[in-house]
C-alpha cells in the first residue's frame, strides 16, 4: 500500500512539474510575442494615421506598457492611459528608450534568456535581449508583468 501511495505521489509531483514547465513555456512565448509587437509599434510609426496627429506618436504602445505612477490603486495593476499627459510622457519615454536599444539594430535583436522573478508587484517575466549598437554587442532586460490575461512591459534594465 505504501508503495502504491509513493507511486501516486511521484506521478502527481511529475504531473505538476510538467504542468508548470508547460505554463512557463506558454508564458515565455506570449511575453516574447508581446515584446516583438511593442518593438514593432515603437519602430514603425505611421504618420499618415490621423490618431498619431490627434493623440501622439506612440499611442498604440500604451496598452503594452504597465502604469507605474503615483496612483497606488493603479500602479503595477493596469496598462498606461495615453490620454493622460503624465502617462503619455511615460509611454513616449519607453518607446524612445526601446528605439535607442533593441530597435537600433538593423539586423535584429535576439532573445537570449527568459526567467521569472517574484516581487511585490507580482511575477516578473524577464527577457534578456542582445542587439548591436555601432557594431558592439549590447544586452538589455525587458521585464513584463501579467495583468489580466495580457503581459505589459514594466521595466527596462
What is the tens place of the pLDDT at every residue in 79-107? 999 999 999 999 999 999 999 999 988 88
Which three-class secondary structure state does DSSP give residue 11? helix
User: How many domains would you assign to the chain?
Assistant: 1
Helices of type H across the chain: 2-43, 50-54, 85-100
Query: Nearest to residue 97, comparing CAs of 145, 140, 53?
Result: 140
Q: What is the predicted pLDDT for the residue at 140? A: 97
- How far apart are the C-alpha atoms of 101 and 112, rounded to whole Å? 15
67: containing domain:
2-156
Determine contact, residues 62/81, Cβ cutoff 8 Å: yes
119: helix, strand or coil: strand
Least confident among 7-11, 18-22, 78-82, 100-104: 7-11
Q: Tell me how crowded residue 121 is: count the other CB atoms within 10 A of its CB.
A: 15
pTM (two decimals) = 0.83
Question: Which distant-in-sequence residues (6+ apart) come within 8 Å of 66 by Cβ?
Answer: 76, 78, 79, 80, 145, 147, 152, 153, 154
Amino acid at each position: 500500500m505504501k508503495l502504491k501511495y509513493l507511486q501516486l505521489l511521484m506521478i502527481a509531483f511529475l504531473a505538476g512539474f510538467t504542468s508548470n514547465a508547460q505554463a512557463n513555456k506558454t508564458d515565455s512565448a506570449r511575453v516574447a510575442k508581446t515584446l516583438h509587437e511593442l518593438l514593432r509599434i515603437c519602430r514603425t510609426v505611421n504618420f499618415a494615421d490621423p490618431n498619431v496627429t490627434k493623440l501622439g506618436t506612440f499611442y498604440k504602445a500604451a496598452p503594452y506598457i504597465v502604469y507605474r505612477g503615483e496612483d497606488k490603486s493603479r500602479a503595477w495593476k493596469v496598462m498606461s492611459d495615453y490620454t493622460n499627459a503624465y502617462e503619455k510622457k511615460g509611454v513616449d519615454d519607453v518607446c524612445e528608450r526601446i528605439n535607442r536599444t533593441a530597435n537600433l539594430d538593423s539586423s535584429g535583436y535576439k532573445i537570449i534568456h527568459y526567467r521569472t522573478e517574484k516581487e511585490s508587484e507580482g511575477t516578473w517575466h524577464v527577457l534578456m535581449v542582445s542587439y548591436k549598437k555601432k557594431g558592439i554587442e549590447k544586452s538589455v532586460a525587458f521585464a513584463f508583468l501579467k495583468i489580466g490575461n495580457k503581459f505589459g512591459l514594466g521595466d527596462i534594465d
